[in-house]
Amino acid sequence: MALLVLRNKAMDKTLRCTVCTWRGVWAEAAAGRVQPIPLDPALEEVQQAYEEKQLEEEQLGAPRPPPCPVCGHHTVPVKLHRNYAAV
């Protein structure tokens, strides 16, 4: 039951793509199924780093963010700033 609650919370998280400008909610990314687009070798290396970081976090029990629904590459949770809307 507790796990279910955690999963639902994750589904509401906002994610952003590490390659393109996509930004949206977890559930939106989870619904997409795209082949990753080819990247420059330098960017591929960055993606590898994200992959390793995600694997580490998964081993600690964190849910794995779905890939970007636009380009198929890694997404990261967006940290929401409380005062952002007031600016």
Q: How far is the CB of 71 from Zn ion (least distance, A)?
A: 3
Nearer to Zn ion, 6 or 49 (CB): 49
Answer for which of 15, 17, 24, 74 binds Zn ion (CB under 5 A) is: 17
Q: How far is 71 from 40, CA to CA, in rounded Å?
A: 14
Among 38, 27, 26, CA closest to 71: 38
Q: Considering the rule CB under 5 A, would residue 29 count as an interface residue with Zn ion? A: no
Q: What SS3 string covers 3-60?
A: HHHHHHHHHCCEEEECCCCCEEEHHHHHHCCCCCCCCCHHHHHHHHHHHHHHHHHHHC
Q: Considering the rule CB under 5 A, would residue 19 count as an interface residue with Zn ion? A: yes
Answer for which of 15, 22, 26, 29 binds Zn ion (CB under 5 A) is: 22
Considering only residues 55 to 84 of the shown chain, the ones binding Zn ion according to CB under 5 A are 68, 70-71
The residue ranges that bind Zn ion (CB under 5 A) are 17, 19-20, 22, 68, 70-71
